Structure 1
């Protein structure tokens, strides 16, 4: 009950409204499902009754002599119920009683209904259990009855416009009067006389007038004479009396007695100040929030459920009296939200109140605040409630000094719970407060349609942004953010690790604060995630995300081909872990490392840094790009791109068949013994070297040095004059036509033609006794220091033996054999006519093969020459030569003086000795029998015919030149 306006009777226009009536009829069964309960076992008389009914139910019972039947029911505080006890037996005179939860009788009726029936209207003062007692007159009347309890339809809940209409119209119309206001609008002036007040009264009146100025823009000019509004304290009580003409207020008088101030206080947080706000509201034309005056009881005199101080200072019901709303009892220190709507409907709105960047709340007294009494409203001794009215700027509700859990709601016309109270703060319609800061408790912050900055501060806070591009400050692992689809582009700024998706799939951006090592994880949006100066784990999750690391050694998780990473120079050693193909350089030249995840076949490409790039279990393409990179393939058949002599490739055993593609010289074994293939790229003259594997090594278009190293390798040269190193009998060299002049250097016997007909040269290395065989090309084949078998095969070949007792196979008249002095005892095996001296003076032996009629000519050495089955011409030339003609009619030619030559198989009558020096006819030849041999002497020359009968020698065996 409120005693404001206790003296309102002084205004003859204002009658006292006695109560509330309702024409609506509530019909049980029509509006809800209700039960009919019949008494079986007799209902006991007391709180132990076994029968319980609900409002709307009916109970059918029987009264015997001296009987009382009790029925239990639960009622709501402040609700009025109609209780009827109706006799179903003629002559039954019912008595109806109501008892509280302890069984004490609190209401009674006899004959309040039709005839002898009982009826009463009962208002529950508290919510809970009650008992309905059905009895009879003196307990002697008996018979059957029906006990029922019904409640009228609940009162409506008014919105603020309806409450404002009650203030400006409804109240006055309920007593036959009209809306009223002074003939002034926002920006205008009304004279006010407060000279009759005490200093305390003047202070309260001045502050109350200022509060109404803040929302209307009406200027109150203080005068000492006649005034539109006179405020005095001469009479007892508190009231307003206005003189009107039609809808115009001519003058108003407000009285708040000194006794009122003495009893209710003289501070802003006193009931006296609220009284001034209330009575000045009357003076300006506002009526009561209900059709009551002087006094009122909630549940009886209100005609809507939310009639309370919380919505309007013109209400008679405090927050406790009103059992519908949820609010702490608090004195009102500003016009409330419905008051502002109502008063602005009468006068217009102020447009100059709090235009700057205003801070409301607990921690900023004297700094960017209103400069009024509301700046420190949380420091008052009594609980206070207020409505914020603000015309501009970027404003903040700051309740960071509060330990209690708070609800801070930036939406206009909603109620916040701040400073440990409930429902004590609201924001006026049209007022936009952009930002809010919570305290140390578990707060709930709710944004509006503006771009809000919501900081829950300490505690496990819930922040709900709503429309607008909102920013959330997170510092507790229990913080929760609520964002719905289509509610702007929102940012979270977090002091702790935070995952957007756990709060909402509709948060766009995340920034990590401070220097701790934090993780930031996105959601399905195209997030922008920014790290702090620590070592961050940044994962955009789904969506084409942008991740910005900042200082620290950061790790980025990439799962979308549209993901982008931003790193600047000097910002730590950073790693990208990607489940999709990723190129570091496309995002930043300052990312150091890349790891591919999953099992898909992915590409990972570096940048100018010395990258470490790791593959996954799939078939990866790994390219370190510029820089001395380390590439680690893992499982799968991986391909590595090498472009720097400092690049390193790491492969372990059993990790697939891997290929290095290198634009610089590269040695597989220096990186790993488990790399299989190497391809040289570009056109530079490069070397490619294998390892212990059976490598496939491909050259580029330059002049390559290709060495398979250990293993049965395949070497493919390509364009350019390539050199192949062969060290395994299983090595194969592949060359195509027109691909340069190529050389094989082999430490094992090697046949060019078995690998390719387009290899030009072969060099045998080492000291082993090796064979080197050519192909159809004009090969150059070089022996080593061992005893080599060198066969140029087809083509006009050049064969160079080197040290060792080498054997050359000649099959082309263009073949050339090169031997130097002191390089062993060498043999040429030729299927064509061959002259040792034309190739070298250091070839010792010549063997003609096949059946063709060939000539074989020696050199200055003591040659051993062997003919074939054809008719050979054998000329040992200089030196003491041994000649074997073989089958056929052979001619042994001697043209060098001073030599002693031997013919091992002279055939009398078939072969011919042709002498070109030392004798001109047979008579100049001396035939001597020496053992089994025959010696022919002429001049300084001797020819020894081994195993030949000297008697068979005749002039017919000779030809002289």
Structure 2
């Protein structure tokens, strides 16, 4: 699956080199193992030895410098073939080295496709000219000539001199593909690689040796480090020592073969921008060069420490551990369960297919878990965390972060200040943190926890549970049947669509049921409750609350405290509870109960025939909005403000002529009341 450079704040995708052609590797390997010898009129041959076996070598004729280079070169072939080389001081050896003749060459004695002995010559003048440093052409020459001694030809049908492309059989013929080539990485202009001395057998050389001697299943076996602090063999240790300073005095290139153990690339001293792909069969850019690191196709490198520049890093199918180091790095985890660390700088981390752990570190980072159940840690600064598919866990860290869960049931923690959390699809859990955060549950049945700041929490679609906790917060249920709990400060709760439960909690809260048949609890504090649409239940709780039914057939209970209850459209039931309450009827046929205390019932002209169920003359009062003239049971005389009433076994029926037209503009009933006095009206 390609990595997804999309979503909030996505960076541009880096460019990695295409995998080296397996067809070209096979073609050149066949040329090295047999094609060259056939073209020369001979036959291919090899020593009668297998991986793990031993060949004897005679180094006695070499100078100390030549002996060191020869041993280093032999070790590079041991690393890839598994064939060990044993130096002897007496008797005939299978490979003999000397430096007497001019130039560099190798020849072999053969019998029936078996090499019986080989001779390698690299002159002292050659070494004097090209130096004894392992990062140079002298070591490359030794590796090349030992390749001949073991049975390899050239990558083309040339010998002694050649030019590209005229003498090349294959377009890919270069040092990047084979140390047996005559063409450097820049002579062959198709490679895209930088010029560099080659300090190991390359891909085609390794394939050719496998053709001759069989595969080395134990190549690099064990926990092996390549680069700084290498334990991979003489040449890699020498390269690691050169890398320790951060730059290379000479350009070098090499190929890594490793078939087992948990391995590490440590290029942490590199000051240049790296492009490293851990996938087998690819080339990478390190220490300021292009294409100078090649990984053999079957090789698996698990771990990587990148350098100090702005690097592009890609893992493989294994469980990788990748450190970006300093700089603005881009890290792609690949298919395994990876651990990615951006370290310092504004980094971009992409998890890939499996269950990954990603840590942005310092700097403004962008993390995308992609598929799998991932853990993302933002670190310091302003970060963007995208969970992607799977059940992910996101931690914003310090800074004003954007955290998006994506698909799956995610857990998202703000941690820092002023962060935006989005659950995405799935049933998510969002935790706000200590500062001013915005939490969006989006699709799914989500749980939102505001934390300590002045937060905004919105459930979105689904049946959500929203907890305000500390801070004066805004809670919005959105679509679905939601539960909203205000917390310890003065909160605003909006139920949204669906049949919601809103609970103000402590302090003086404002609650809106909005659409649906909602239940609103004011709880402690002087709360304001508005039912809005639907058949709602409003309960004020403690404190002096204001309850407004809105549309629908609603039930309002002031409960404790001196409350104000107002009916809207619909047939509502109002109950003041304890305390001196004020109850107002609205459109529709309403039932008003004052409860304990000296209550005021407000009757407005727009109301239908409302009933006051517990009016107590001398304690409760009725407010008609104007002065009242009681006329007993007499007919209206055409004087504004006249009020007449009649007593029956079921209570008192009251009619009121507000405008003096002789008609009753308002009728209401005092059930179970027997006495009504002029002093009962305000």
Q: TM-score if structure 2 supplies the norm length?
A: 0.73
Residues 395 and 278 (structure 1), Cα distance of their counterparts in 2 relative to 1, 3 Å cut? same
* 1:611-626 equivalent positions in 2, closer than 5 A: 614-615=492-493, 618=496, 623-625=501-503
Residues 626 and 389 (structure 1), Cα distance of their counterparts in 2 relative to 1, 3 Å cut? farther
Q: Deviations over 1:874-899 (max 9, x none)?
A: xxxxxxxxxxxxxxxxxxxxxxxxxx
Could you tell me which residue of structure 2 aligns to residue 176 of structure 1? 41
Alignment check: 8 A CA contact 2:364 2:380 kept: no
Alignment check: 8 A CA contact 2:315 2:333 kept: yes
- Whole-angstrom CA distance in 2 between matches of 1:775 and 1:497: 79
Residues 716 and 345 (structure 1), Cα distance of their counterparts in 2 relative to 1, 3 Å cut? farther
* 1:293-312 equivalent positions in 2, closer than 5 A: 293-312=159-178
1:534 and 2:408 matched: no
- Whole-angstrom CA distance in 1 between matches of 2:53 and 2:491: 75
Could you tell me which residue of structure 1 aligns to residue 250 of structure 2? 382
**Alignment counterpart, residue 488 of structure 2, candidates 593, 610, 618:** 610
SS at match of 2:584: coil
**Alignment counterpart, residue 548 of structure 1, candidates 407, 412, 415:** 412
**Alignment counterpart, residue 744 of structure 1, candidates 615, 626, 642:** 615
1:361 and 2:361 matched: no
Residues 545 and 538 (structure 1), Cα distance of their counterparts in 2 relative to 1, 3 Å cut? farther
- Whole-angstrom CA distance in 2 between matches of 1:343 and 1:543: 49
Greater RCO, 1 or 2 (C-alpha within 8 Å, sep 6+): 2
* 1:916-931 equivalent positions in 2, closer than 5 A: none
Could you tell me which residue of structure 2 aligns to residue 943 of structure 1? none
Residues 561 and 722 (structure 1), Cα distance of their counterparts in 2 relative to 1, 3 Å cut? farther
How far the C-alpha of 1:276 sits from its partner, in A, is 0.9
**Alignment counterpart, residue 60 of structure 2, candidates 195, 215, 220:** 195
- Whole-angstrom CA distance in 1 between matches of 2:468 and 2:476: 21
Q: Deviations over 1:64-122 (max 9, x none)?
A: xxxxxxxxxxxxxxxxxxxxxxxxxxxxxxxxxxxxxxxxxxxxxxxxxxxxxxxxxxx
SS at match of 1:208: helix
- Whole-angstrom CA distance in 1 between matches of 2:232 and 2:646: 98
1:160 and 2:28 matched: no
**Alignment counterpart, residue 439 of structure 2, candidates 573, 576, 596:** 576
- Whole-angstrom CA distance in 2 between matches of 1:562 and 1:613: 27
Alignment check: 8 A CA contact 1:358 1:393 kept: yes
Alignment check: 8 A CA contact 2:302 2:321 kept: yes
* 1:899-914 equivalent positions in 2, closer than 5 A: none
- Whole-angstrom CA distance in 2 between matches of 1:514 and 1:411: 28
- Whole-angstrom CA distance in 1 between matches of 2:332 and 2:271: 20
Residues 320 and 619 (structure 1), Cα distance of their counterparts in 2 relative to 1, 3 Å cut? closer
- Whole-angstrom CA distance in 1 between matches of 2:177 and 2:242: 18
- Whole-angstrom CA distance in 1 between matches of 2:171 and 2:136: 26
- Whole-angstrom CA distance in 1 between matches of 2:396 and 2:351: 24
How far the C-alpha of 1:689 sits from its partner, in A, is 6.0
**Alignment counterpart, residue 242 of structure 1, candidates 98, 108, 113:** 108
Q: Give the number of aligned pairs.
A: 595
**Alignment counterpart, residue 213 of structure 1, candidates 53, 78, 91:** 78
How far the C-alpha of 1:589 sits from its partner, in A, is 7.2
- Whole-angstrom CA distance in 1 between matches of 2:676 and 2:136: 121
- Whole-angstrom CA distance in 2 between matches of 1:612 and 1:604: 20
Larger CA deviation: 546-555 vs 168-177: 546-555
- Whole-angstrom CA distance in 1 between matches of 2:425 and 2:187: 63
Larger CA deviation: 435-444 vs 253-262: 435-444
- Whole-angstrom CA distance in 1 between matches of 2:201 and 2:116: 23
SS at match of 1:159: helix
How far the C-alpha of 1:345 sits from its partner, in A, is 2.4
- Whole-angstrom CA distance in 2 between matches of 1:375 and 1:438: 14
Q: TM-score if structure 1 supplies the norm length?
A: 0.53
Residues 298 and 278 (structure 1), Cα distance of their counterparts in 2 relative to 1, 3 Å cut? same
**Alignment counterpart, residue 191 of structure 2, candidates 322, 325, 344:** 325
Residues 445 and 744 (structure 1), Cα distance of their counterparts in 2 relative to 1, 3 Å cut? same
Could you tell me which residue of structure 1 aligns to residue 584 of structure 2? 711
Alignment check: 8 A CA contact 2:431 2:448 kept: no
How far the C-alpha of 1:625 sits from its partner, in A, is 4.8
SS at match of 2:615: strand
Alignment check: 8 A CA contact 2:350 2:367 kept: no
Could you tell me which residue of structure 1 aligns to residue 4 of structure 2? none
**Alignment counterpart, residue 449 of structure 1, candidates 317, 326, 334:** 317
- Whole-angstrom CA distance in 2 between matches of 1:506 and 1:805: 75
- Whole-angstrom CA distance in 2 between matches of 1:252 and 1:637: 92
Alignment check: 8 A CA contact 1:455 1:474 kept: yes
1:285 and 2:151 matched: yes
Alignment check: 8 A CA contact 1:449 1:468 kept: yes
Q: Which has the higher strand share?
A: 1
- Whole-angstrom CA distance in 2 between matches of 1:367 and 1:548: 43
Residues 632 and 356 (structure 1), Cα distance of their counterparts in 2 relative to 1, 3 Å cut? farther
**Alignment counterpart, residue 728 of structure 1, candidates 602, 605, 613:** 602
SS at match of 2:259: coil
How far the C-alpha of 1:167 sits from its partner, in A, is 0.9
- Whole-angstrom CA distance in 1 between matches of 2:324 and 2:44: 45
* 1:48-87 equivalent positions in 2, closer than 5 A: none
Alignment check: 8 A CA contact 2:227 2:237 kept: no
Could you tell me which residue of structure 2 aligns to residue 263 of structure 1? 129
Could you tell me which residue of structure 2 aligns to residue 776 of structure 1? 649
How far the C-alpha of 1:200 sits from its partner, in A, is 0.7
How far the C-alpha of 1:171 sits from its partner, in A, is 0.9
Could you tell me which residue of structure 1 aligns to residue 299 of structure 2? 431
Residues 551 and 476 (structure 1), Cα distance of their counterparts in 2 relative to 1, 3 Å cut? closer
Could you tell me which residue of structure 1 aligns to residue 263 of structure 2? 395
- Whole-angstrom CA distance in 2 between matches of 1:635 and 1:679: 13
Give unmatched runs, 5+ long, in structure 2.
1-20, 450-463, 625-641, 653-668
- Whole-angstrom CA distance in 2 between matches of 1:201 and 1:473: 43
Alignment check: 8 A CA contact 1:749 1:772 kept: no
- Whole-angstrom CA distance in 2 between matches of 1:247 and 1:398: 42
Alignment check: 8 A CA contact 2:359 2:379 kept: no
Could you tell me which residue of structure 1 aligns to residue 276 of structure 2? 408
Residues 219 and 357 (structure 1), Cα distance of their counterparts in 2 relative to 1, 3 Å cut? closer
1:514 and 2:379 matched: yes
1:679 and 2:555 matched: yes
SS at match of 1:303: coil
User: Bigger radius of gyration, 1 or 2?
Assistant: 1
Alignment check: 8 A CA contact 1:447 1:464 kept: yes
Residues 247 and 360 (structure 1), Cα distance of their counterparts in 2 relative to 1, 3 Å cut? same
- Whole-angstrom CA distance in 1 between matches of 2:36 and 2:364: 57
Residues 608 and 712 (structure 1), Cα distance of their counterparts in 2 relative to 1, 3 Å cut? closer
How far the C-alpha of 1:566 sits from its partner, in A, is 5.3
Q: Deviations over 1:565-609 (max 9, x none)?
A: 1549x97786533456755487797965774569x5555524595
Q: Deviations over 1:670-710 (max 9, x none)?
A: 344767597368xxx9558642744686479xx95597605
